[in-house]
A and B are shown apart, each in its own frame.
Chain A
Amino acid sequence: MGPNLLANYGEAVSAILFCIGFTNLLLQTNLIKKIIGLNVMDSAIYLFLAEKGYIAGRVAPIVVNGVTSTEAYINPIPSGLVLTGIVVSVSVTALMLSLTIRLYTRYHTLDLDEISAQLKKEGK
């Protein structure tokens, strides 16, 4: 173990959340729960990035009263990356949800294994 585990507690939380989301995406057979897992995983990464930008005692990077000194503001780059990442995860969630709707109207179940079983029984 390194020296900074306690100092980086925010990042540790985000890492645990990431793994919880990852497990859900991998393990759940219910498609909606899988999508929830996906969103937890993505949000954990954004939390991780937000922690990266933080500097104690500084304010959000919006210029106030014309002060443009690096001493005044936190790092703007991670915030920008989070903005981009959020759009990506919205798009992916919409796609997954519509796939789920399609499968549900066809097979009347959200269980991915059951859908596979039905497909195999159809034999197509």
Chain B
Amino acid sequence: MNFICNFPFFSILISLFSGTICSVLPAKAAKVVNRVVIAAVGVMSLILLLYLLSTGESFVYWMGHFPAPWGNEIRAGVLEAGMALFFCIIMYLSMAGGAHKLYGEVVESKHNLYYILVNLLLSSLLALVYTNDMFTAYVFVEINTISACGLIMIRQVGRTIEAAVRYMIMSLLGSGLLLFGLCIMYDLTGHLLMSNMKESVSLLMASGEYQIPLIVSVALMCVGLCIKSALFPFHAWLPDAYGYSTASSAAILSSLVSKGYIFLLIKIIYRVIGFDIFNSTRIIDVLFVFGLMGMIFGSISAIRENDIRRMIAFSSVAQIGYIYMGFGMGTQAGMVASIFHILSHAATKSLLFIAAIGLTDVSGGSRKFVDLTGAAYRNKWAGAAFMAGSLSMVGVPLFSGFISKLLFSQAAVQVEGKMLASLIVLGISTVLNAIYFMKTVIRIYTPARESGYSIVTFKDMKSYGIVLICFIVLNVILGVSSQPIVDMIEQGLAMFA
């Protein structure tokens, strides 16, 4: 076996172990460890991705001395390695971009605990991406939930703690349903490894045995993961959690945590149930309808919002609706569009959150739109970055959001019966997006009369400026050279089957 095949295992273990190490380190050293680990995992994922692209085959890696149905496994393909790489990039940039806010918002003595949480969150995301075992996935889903809750309430104001409680309640409902579905699935197949489960499921489907429990267990798992990833009717906790937590947390939560659950759902669809069987159930129609509703209602709530951070949070609800709409189409093209939108939304939303703190900082810390008037002149880089993010969200060419909308419309055209609905809602949602994002952009570029707020230049916060530039570049790369990425996603999905 090639040495590179160890890299998925190394990346999970390094990030898990670094969490333990950070518990005895002072805050500064913990910060260095955190950055180094994220960078190291990113480099390993990049090498792994290149290796997988050259061999063109996925591989499984035994976690222990025992082969498939007995031991525990992880599995790496192009999609997994690419996702891990992308998660590392976003996480590094979010941590670097929000680092200066941490000193004001989190008690100094609890900084090293923050880095522990981030390390463990990274390890759980990697485990969700790479795992080939359903029960392992459940355990790491719990690590992901608890550390995400920690990220929300580490800034201790009343709102965040209440948001953390609401987040935990919704997440626990989701985990309960996921575990119950998993148990039923285990009862029917007798396996916990995804590949063996899939074999048994296709045999059961062919023989027509246990149809009802099978569908119910799939539905329970889907609903559980939808609740956890804040699909439309289950999003009540989201605005407070994203709107009031510290900036790095908000960026990581919106762009990575919910995406980890969605990626697990994709894995379940492809590697446990089988794409064709999943599409023959009515579940995709439900996902489709809730996705569409999320797109509309999320945007309407965002328009009514008077607080820039909460507005961005509500926009996340709409964007998650897009992703589930792609699942609901039930075609390969819809799935590719959804996965591209995961990348595009992660890159854009973290950019928006990081840019928003630059704008609020030069407006006396207020997030109200009245006070933000002219903020883009006081902090030019944050203003430009916010505009870039908004343009991407609205779907202007050259930015990543345009490509995902294009892919969604292309996919919609191929689906009979769902074409009209998805195209109309895509159009309405784009207009609504434009209303609230352009409203904000116009507001921050309206010259203010005497404001008395300080002006921040690039020299004052170099690292923050560089992070913003990296984010914009990432967005433009996704928007301009989308074809290789789409090809990679298709190759990865082919490896899944």
Is residue A69 contacting chain B, with contact meaning CB distance below 8 A? no
Residue A48 CB within 8 A of the other chain: yes
Determine whether A108 belongs to the interface, using a CB cutoff of 8 Å to chain B. no
- Chain B interface, DSSP helix/strand/loop, else mixed: helix
Tell me, yes or no, whether B149 is within 8 Å of chain A by CB.
Answer: yes
A8 → chain B closest CB, angstroms: 10
Interface check B173, CB cutoff 8 A:
yes
A74 at interface (Cβ–Cβ under 8 A)? no
Query: Which single member of A41, A92, A119 contacts B158 (CB below 8 Å)?
Result: A119
User: Which of B156, B176, B186, B192 gathers most chain A CB within 10 Å?
Assistant: B176
Tell me whether A95 and B146 are in contact (CB under 8 A). yes
- Smallest CB-CB separation from A119: which chain B residue? B158
Q: Are A107 and B180 in contact (CB under 8 A)?
A: no
Q: Looking across the interface, which residue of chain A has its beta carbon closest to that of B156?
A: A102
Q: A residues 32-77 with Cβ under 8 Å of B?
A: 34, 38, 41-42, 45, 48-49, 52, 77
**Among listed B1-9, B19-27, B160-168, B310-318, interface-contacting one:** B160-168
In the bound assembly, the distance between CA atoms of A115 and B169 in angstroms comes to 15
Looking at B146, B161, B164, B172, which has the most chain A CB atoms within 10 Å of its CB?
B172
**Which residues of chain A have C-beta atoms less than 8 A from B443's C-beta?**
none
Interface residue A13 (Cβ < 8 Å from any Cβ of B): no
Per-residue A-contact encoding for B264-280, CB less than 8 Å = 1, 0 else: 00000000000000000
**Which residues 66-124 of A sit at the B interface, judged by CB distance below 8 A?**
77-78, 81, 84-85, 88, 91-92, 95-96, 99-100, 102-103, 106-107, 112, 115-116, 118-119, 122, 124
CB-CB under 8 A from A84, the residues of chain B are: 135, 139
Residues in A whose Cβ lies below 8 Å from that of B159: 119, 124
| Docked-complex contact A2 and B212, CB < 8 angstroms | yes
Instruction: For the complex, give the distance between the alpha carbons of A42 and B179 in Å.
Output: 9
Q: Which residues of A contact B186 (CB under 8 A)?
A: 52, 77-78, 81
CB of B180 within 8 A of CB of A99, answer no
Interface presence of A16 (CB below 8 A): no
Q: Are B176 and A41 in contact (CB under 8 A)?
A: yes
Bitwise, B175-213 to A at CB < 8 A (1) or not (0) is: 010011001001100001000000000000000000010
CA distance A115 to B176 in the complex (A): 26
Q: From B176, which residue of chain A is reached at the shortest CB distance?
A: A41
Shortest Cβ distance from residue A37 to the other chain B in the assembled complex, whole angstroms: 9
B32 at the interface (CB under 8 A from A): no
Alpha-carbon distance between A45 and B135 when the two chains are bound, in angstroms: 14
* A103 contacts B176, C-beta separation under 8 Å: no
Complex: A122 Cα to B176 Cα, angstroms: 34
| Closest A residue to B212 using CB positions | A2
B421 beta carbon closer than 8 Å to chain A: no
Q: How far is the CA of A119 from the CA of B165 in the complex (A)?
A: 14
Instruction: Identify which of residues 126-172 in chain B touch chain A, using a CB-to-CB cut-off of 8 Å.
Output: 135, 139, 142, 146, 149, 153, 156-159, 161-162, 164-166, 168-169, 172
Per-position binary interface string of chain B over residues 321-351, scored 1 when its CB falls under 8 Å from any chain A CB and 0 otherwise: 0000000000000000000000000000000
* Separation of A48 and B180 alpha carbons in the complex (Å): 9
A103 touching B162 in the complex, CB below 8 Å, given contacts A45-B183, A88-B142, A124-B157: yes
Which one, A18, A45, A49, A95, contacts B168 given CB within 8 A? A95
Q: Which of B203-254 contact A (CB under 8 A)?
A: 212
B 397-426 to A, binary, CB cutoff 8 A, 1 in contact else 0: 000000000000000000000000000000
Q: How far is the CA of A92 from the CA of B144 in the complex (A)?
A: 12
- Asked whether, in the complex, the Cβ of B158 is within 8 Å of the Cβ of A124, the reply is yes
List the 7 closest A-B pairs by CB distance, nearest first. A88-B142, A41-B176, A99-B165, A119-B158, A45-B179, A102-B161, A38-B172
A residues lining the B interface (CB < 8 Å): 2, 18, 21-22, 25-26, 31, 34, 38, 41-42, 45, 48-49, 52, 77-78, 81, 84-85, 88, 91-92, 95-96, 99-100, 102-103, 106-107, 112, 115-116, 118-119, 122, 124
27 A-B residue contacts at CB 8 Å?
Answer: A18-B180, A21-B176, A25-B172, A25-B173, A26-B169, A26-B173, A38-B172, A41-B172, A45-B176, A48-B183, A49-B183, A52-B183, A52-B186, A78-B186, A81-B186, A88-B139, A91-B146, A92-B142, A92-B146, A95-B146, A96-B165, A103-B165, A112-B162, A115-B158, A119-B162, A124-B157, A124-B158
Instruction: Given contacts A52-B186, A122-B158, list 4 more A-B pairs with CB under 8 A.
Output: A77-B186, A103-B162, A112-B165, A124-B159
Residues in chain B within 8 A of chain A (CB atoms): 135, 139, 142, 146, 149, 153, 156-159, 161-162, 164-166, 168-169, 172-173, 176, 179-180, 183, 186-187, 192, 212
